[in-house]
Amino acid sequence: MSAAGKRVSHESARAHVTGAALYTDDLCGRFPRLLHAWPVTAPHAHALITELDVSPALDVPGVVATLTASDVPGENDTGANRRDEPLFPAEVMYHSQPVAWVLGEDLDAAQRGAARVRADYQPLPAIVTLRDAVARESFHSGPIRLQRGDANEALAASPHSLEGELEIGGQEHFYLETHAAIAWLDESGGVALHSSTQHPSETQEVVARVLGVPRNAVTVECLRMGGAFGGKEVQANPWAAVAALGARKTGRPVRVRLTRALDMALSGKRHPFLARYRVGFDDDGRLLSLLATLYSDAGWSLDLSEPVMGRALFHLDNAYFLPAMRAAGYVSKTHKTSQTAFRGFGAPQGMLLVEEILDRVARRLALAPEVVRERNFYREGQTTHYGQAVKDAGRIPAIWRRLLESSRFAARRAEIDRFNRTHPHRKRGLAITPVKFGISFTATVFNQGGALVLVYRDGSVQVNHGGTEMGQGLFTKIGQIAADALGLPLNAIRLMPTRTDKVPNTSASAASASTDLNGAAVMDACARIRERLAPVAAVMLGCAPEAVCFAGGFVSVKGDDLGRIPFGHVTEAAYRQRIPLFAEGYYRTPEIHFDARLGHGHPFYYFAFGAAATEVEVDGFTGQYKVRRADVLEDVGDSLSPLIDRGQIEGGFVQGLGWLTLEELLWDGEGRVATAGASTYKLPSWSELPEEFHVDFLERATEPGVVMGSKAVGEPPLMLAISAREALRDAIAAYGPGGEIPLASPLTPERVFRAIEDQRAKLCTFASPPTRVVRA
Ligand code: MTE
Ligand code: HPA
Ligand code: MOS
């Protein structure tokens, strides 16, 4: 009868598909006299504002007010981690940066008003490429370093070595719901907001900062988001601040909603990376030393770029033991949108590098990549390059072997080789790659969660917690947890919108940890309520409080269902005995610590493991490809919600596939996002899904110490898509003689085609027989 582990649909699934589910901007209709905001955007990537005259906007019929720096009663800054984000800048730092806002009776008036604002600029030299930033040493901070042993010495002593460079593209979040906020004044003079934010407490903090009021004067609510993917971890804040400022100035409710084009031009993306590396290895392909320098393109402000780089460095090992390594990460400053959190949070870039390296090592030695990968796996008892023991390291080879078997890897390998021998213009490729992803915010302080559970006299329940719902199924899982903890059916639990006046000082819903943190806090609150109800029920049942059992909406004596009492009768009795029926809950992750100075510690509570085997087919005339089949085996612990977990795995894989193979962000020479719409930015859709998609969970994988034995699932599966990139490389190799094939990312059809051409050219030049790959 337990709700946890049951295959329940997303709690809003029906509302999602019928359109009944409301998002921030859908709430506009509730606000009479609502004003609409539109920005005045700068036409330069870098410039001084020499003159700004907003008064002509006020001549436009329907324009009610303008917003500039002089309207800010508090601090003119919305930076989350450094005060480096003026809301109204004196110096333009990226193309299309808002320099002022116009409020109108309708959007059209605001837009026409914004067009009338007179702004003059003195253009300044702009850095719009990562390579340019690196060459000029334009860095926000750093470098951040991690090392183990003497990597130089280990490299010198290695029988083989390689060096190279890897370029990794960014990614647009493309949440279906663009950034949105509505702000209004409440009767106390405070400001209330609906905001599409992953971090209501930080949105509250930033709004309070800009308004110059204490945080208790600001209330932020997030009903749900239409996707966030990290893009709303800190970047919801400026839009909320504009709405709040407008409400404060006019006394009227104000709505900010970015159009898709604005959202793509103004909001941050996944960080593009450039990596330079040297690696030493032995005859068997075992890595002996890795030296790496990572550069991220962070854009104009710091944002979360330091922890993103930190997570990239933490994941340079992926699932592999690096006996000696030294890495430095530089967070580069460019005149572009401020790149931000995106599913995986730097780990995808770090892992991509080691997977690129292992493939080169394998091809250099004419070994099968899957053989070299397996040889490098962590073994039980080994520690990472930052000193954390890899608990359950044995799960990596266990998942690997099971997946090789269930995907019929060896047999398909042989079939593919046969296919490729008989098809000169079409080649298939197959690859398997692992994922090991650290769960916990790397900044230890964020690893806490809170809850407030309210039970009404009739036994119905409202659950408040610090997490936000962005489609990932957090509320579904929390509902299941609360139902089990109180012994109630799922439909007795109501999940309330996330509000800063219910649970304060919350962390962002991020790092895949929301269920671990908030779910445990809800468990804690429910346990308190059970403890208070047990003595009441014990008297009613004539048993000891310890013998009281809550299940299925009833309270009974353990092992005896006959005399059971409806839960609502017990709560009513408790009320009459003046026993409180609501409780707060709290959780902090134990054991984690990290010394940033030494680069050493135990930053992750546990690791999420998985692997994927993916097969592709590539057309030699065009470089176009399709994913024929993907097999995934993911360690989700004891799945709390199998349908939700499966959705996260499938969605994460496909989003990773988009990042690695289709989605290419381009900026023009002026620093403008050239791919600011779905017409120029290719997203994965129905037709790009794997034709066959097998998703399985690792069995008997209970994770002790985590809520109901489950494991986080939000981000790790994204990196399973690296198997598709490696499969493409495998197919490309089949067009030529073999050998190393370094590839930039994303591997768009265009790049695939060029890589095939390179392979064909090699065949002509050397006319050598193809390298025979040893698969042992
Ligand atoms: N799934 C959906 N449908 N929409 C999202 O915005 N965000 C991802 C992931 N899965 C996201 C998603 C990201 S970046 C994170 S960190 C986690 O969900 C956050 O939620 P969790 O902590 O509940 O896993
Ligand atoms: N992951 C995701 N978001 C974060 C982190 C992290 O490690 N640290 C701060 N925000
Ligand atoms: Mo996810 S990138 O941690 O919001």
The answer to whether the CB of 271 falls within 8 A of the CB of 349 is yes
Instruction: With CA atoms as reference, report the closest residue to 366 among 308, 297, 285.
Output: 285
Pocket probe for ligand 2: among 311, 343, 509, 604, the residue whose CB has the most ligand atoms within 8 Å is 311
Atom of ligand 2 nearest to the CA of 441: 7
Residue 345 alpha carbon to ligand 3 centre in Å: 6
Ligand nearest to C-alpha 514: 1
Task: Report the residue count for the chain.
Answer: 776
Cα separation, 69 vs 575, in Å, equals 53
Ligand nearest to C-alpha 225: 1
307: cis peptide before it, omega within 30°? no
The β-bridge relationship of strands 325-332 and 139-148 is: antiparallel
| Cβ-proximal residues to 540 (8 Å cutoff; 6+ apart), any chain | 555, 565, 569, 570, 573
The answer to whether the CB of 317 falls within 8 A of the CB of 148 is no
143: cis peptide before it, omega within 30°? yes
Q: What is the DSSP string of 411-449?
A: HHHHHHHHHHHH-SSEEEEEEEEEEEEEES-SSGGG-EE
| CB of 270 shorter than 6 A to ligand 3 | no
**Amino acid letter for position 387:** G
| Residue corresponding to tokens 């353990």 | 558
| CB of 341 shorter than 6 A to ligand 3 | yes
Confidence at residue 142, expressed as pLDDT on a 0 to 100 scale? 84
Confidence at residue 380, expressed as pLDDT on a 0 to 100 scale? 94
SS3 sequence of 135-172: HCCCEEEEEEEEEECCHHHHHHCCCEEEEEEEEECCEC
Atom of ligand 3 nearest to the CA of 230: 4
Ligand 2 site, CB within 6 A: 233, 304, 307, 311, 341, 345, 441-443, 446, 508, 510-511
Cα separation, 416 vs 408, in Å, equals 12
Pocket probe for ligand 2: among 234, 304, 314, the residue whose CB has the most ligand atoms within 8 Å is 304
Q: How far from chain centre, in Å, is Cα 458?
A: 39
Tokens, residue 82: 């450094």
Residue 514 alpha carbon to ligand 1 centre in Å: 9
Residue 641 alpha carbon to ligand 1 centre in Å: 15
Residues of the chain with pLDDT under 70: 1, 765-776
Atom of ligand 3 nearest to the CA of 343: 2
Cα separation, 638 vs 702, in Å, equals 5
The 3-state DSSP class for residue 633 equals strand
Cα separation, 133 vs 131, in Å, equals 5
Residue in 172, 205, 356, 715 annotated catalytic: 715
Residue 584 belongs to what H/E stretch?
strand 582-588
Pocket probe for ligand 3: among 439, 715, 718, 719, the residue whose CB has the most ligand atoms within 8 Å is 715
Confidence at residue 774, expressed as pLDDT on a 0 to 100 scale? 60
Q: What angle do the packed helices 722-733 and 642-657 form, to 10 degrees? A: 40
Confidence at residue 738, expressed as pLDDT on a 0 to 100 scale? 85
Confidence at residue 767, expressed as pLDDT on a 0 to 100 scale? 53
Ligand nearest to C-alpha 228: 1
End-to-end CA distance of the chain: 48
Across the beta sheet with 91-92, the strand order is: 91-92, 47-53, 118-123
Ligand nearest to C-alpha 227: 1
Q: Which residues pair with 431 in a beta bridge?
A: 614
Residue 507 alpha carbon to ligand 2 centre in Å: 10
Confidence at residue 775, expressed as pLDDT on a 0 to 100 scale? 59
Residue 229 alpha carbon to ligand 1 centre in Å: 6
Instruction: With CA atoms as reference, report the closest residue to 457 among 584, 538, 578, 544.
Output: 578
715: annotated active-site residue: yes
Q: What are phi and psi of 235, to 5 degrees?
A: -85, 5
Ligand nearest to C-alpha 311: 2
Residue 195 belongs to what H/E stretch?
strand 191-195
Residue 465 alpha carbon to ligand 2 centre in Å: 19
User: Which letter does DSSP use for residue 380 in this model?
Assistant: T
Across the beta sheet with 287-297, the strand order is: 139-148, 325-332, 287-297, 273-281, 160-168
Instruction: With CA atoms as reference, report the closest residue to 443 among 75, 144, 77, 79.
Output: 144
Instruction: With CA atoms as reference, report the closest residue to 1 among 555, 459, 552, 527.
Output: 552
Cα separation, 607 vs 215, in Å, equals 36
| Residue corresponding to tokens 């193309």 | 95
Q: How far is CA 532 from CA 519, 526, 573, in A?
A: 20, 10, 12
| CB of 303 shorter than 6 A to ligand 3 | no
Angle at 510 between CA 182 and CA 192, to 5 degrees: 20
Ligand 1 site, CB within 6 A: 227-230, 343, 470-472, 474, 509-515, 648, 651, 712, 714-715
| CB of 755 shorter than 6 A to ligand 3 | no
